[in-house]
Amino acid sequence: MEPGKEFLASTPQINWDTAEVLANAHALSGSTPVEIARSAFLFVRDQIGHSLDINATTVTQNAAEVLEQEHGFCYTKSFLLAALLRAREIPAGLCFQKLQDDEGNLILHSFNAIYLEPWGWVKVDARGNKPGVDAQFDPPNESLAFAPSQPGEETLPDILANPPESVVLALAEAIDCQTLNKNLPRNL
């Protein structure tokens, strides 16, 4: 499936048209879309902390806030990666998995799909590595942070241009990261 223009659009969450996001996007190294995508992936994965991993309190809502605060949940880290790529005219979308949390509830985990020639859509996960999580940029192969293995877990097939309302609402309603972690979205 070739990407439509919506996979290049600036949105309230994937706000690539802000000064901060544009500056960071144009600072990415690389001259080809694959090199730029690798640079953006490594920046978001390695330089932007996952809010829970670094014990952050503030819940970031969009790409510009993730850059400013230097952290985000998987959802907003995905917003940032999509924003950086879209600012460089590389189509990028959002993907989701249903995974079990520590209590056995199915929750949504977010990652990205990037449209790269000659492969088409390539799925990448810039959540941030830690013990037990080793996501890599390895087109055309997928190297995601998590592999569904428990009952009910699955990687959802859709590539979305915009985050689902359930994710936007969960982020907006959370008063801090611990509250969000206890109320992660369960469905698209």
At residue 2 the predicted structure's pLDDT band, cuts being 50, 70 and 90, is confident
pLDDT (tens digit, 9 = 90+) per residue, 80-123? 999 999 999 999 999 999 999 989 999 999 999 999 999 999 99
At residue 77 the predicted structure's pLDDT band, cuts being 50, 70 and 90, is very high
Structure tokens at 161: 């241009």
Correct CATH for 5-181 of 3.30.360.10, 3.40.50.720, 3.10.620.30, 2.40.30.130: 3.10.620.30
| Range list of β-strands (E), the chain | 49-50, 71-72, 92-100, 106-116, 120-124, 154-155
Q: Domain ranges in the chain? A: 5-181
Q: What is the DSSP letter of 147?
A: -
Strands 106-116, 92-100: pairing kind: antiparallel
Q: What pLDDT was estimated at residue 53? A: 97
Structure tokens at 167: 């994710």
Q: What pLDDT was estimated at residue 1? A: 66
Q: Tell me the three state secondary structure of residue 5.
A: helix
Q: What pLDDT was estimated at residue 59? A: 98
Dihedral in degrees, nearest 10, Cα atoms 164, 67, 117, 2? 20
pTM > 0.75: yes or no: yes
As a whole number of angstroms, the distance between CA 75 and CA 28 comes to 21
| Average pLDDT value for the chain | 97
Listed in sequence order, the residues at least 6 apart from 131 whose beta carbon sits closer than 8 Å to its beta carbon are none
